Amino acid sequence: MKIVILDGYALNPGDLSYDCLKAFGELTVYERTDSEGQAIARIGDAEIVLINKVPVTESLLAACPNIRLICVQATGYNVVDCEACKKRGILVTNVPSYGTAAVAQFTMALLLELCHQIGLHNRDVHAGGWEKANCFCYWLTPQMELAGKTMGIIGFGKIGMAVGKLAKAFGMEVLAYNRSQCEEGKQIGTYADLDTLLAKSDVVSLHCPLFPQTRGIINESSIAKMKDGAMLINTARGPLVEETALAAALNSGKLRGAALDVVSQEPINADSPLLTCKNCVLTPHIAWAPIESRQRLLDTVVENIRAYLAGKPQNVVNP
């Protein structure tokens, strides 16, 4: 059996090992695959294909008829045409929950950065600002406590609930908007409709998947419903946010700040309005990336392949 990894760098930049996959067959690892033609040539007659962000289209599937299993080395699988795979009898698996702790932790790190502008103050101290201030303390931006504030979480699955628990530990009230409700969620926060959440939240944090109905969920209209001076965090998917509308809200002062680990085009374009607008913290899609979470991801990919070969597939997203 032949196994091909098309963009191995994302999961394993060199600090993990793909050797665990060799037990299943002949393994070929490509660090990056930049075009569909290149992907087709590299897949060849392979039966199992592992991808992270390489698109899997109907035309690619038609050119690679031996594919039986596509393992997405991530939770989101919108890069794969799952219906086309289903029609061809190809299973698609993903890896849920591997990064829950990492993403929740990073979400709070972004929020604390917005509250305290730690990076800005660190750079200013190194540049001599504290020495020149001739005072035991000084601050360049207003500081903000989280206790007593309201965190509105859009998408209250495992990551959203983990963020809710951390927010509560900081003394925040938690509102949640989700397609369904569960008892665990009710113990963490209060479910609300989207308009209520937007109107009452001091911080809105996005943790929902990217579907047609969630694309652009943060737009000019929804921002207008938010509190003046509220903050936005996105560690989910870039296209959940209409970036021109967000930049306008930051520049006008409607929103106090935003912190985004994901953007609509990755890597970010040089002409993105987010690069020049006020009070916008940007990080390069790293919330998921601690070595512990990436090892869990790889372990689950191995288990997905093992389960498939045993005739008991797991984590299938196109049943």
Enumerate the active-site residues. Answer: 237, 266, 285
Say if CB 287 and CB 107 are below 8 A apart. yes
What DSSP line would sit under 160-219, residue for residue? HHHHHHHHHHTT-EEEEE-SS--HHHHHH-EE--HHHHHHH-SEEEE-----TTTTT-BS
Contact 318, 82 (CB under 8 A): yes
Cα–Cα distance, 85 to 90 (Å, whole number): 5
Write down the number of H helices and E strands in the chain: 12, 12
Q: Residue 98 gets which letter from DSSP?
A: T
Q: For the chain, how far is it from start to end, CA to CA, in angstroms?
A: 23
Q: Which long-range contacts (CB under 8 A, 24 or more apart) does 314-317 make?
A: 314/93, 315/93, 315/94, 315/95, 315/96, 316/91, 316/92, 316/93, 317/72, 317/77, 317/82, 317/92, 317/93, 317/94
CB 278 within 8 A of CB 246: no
Report how far residue 280's alpha carbon sits from residue 283's, in angstroms, rounded to the nearest whole number. Answer: 10
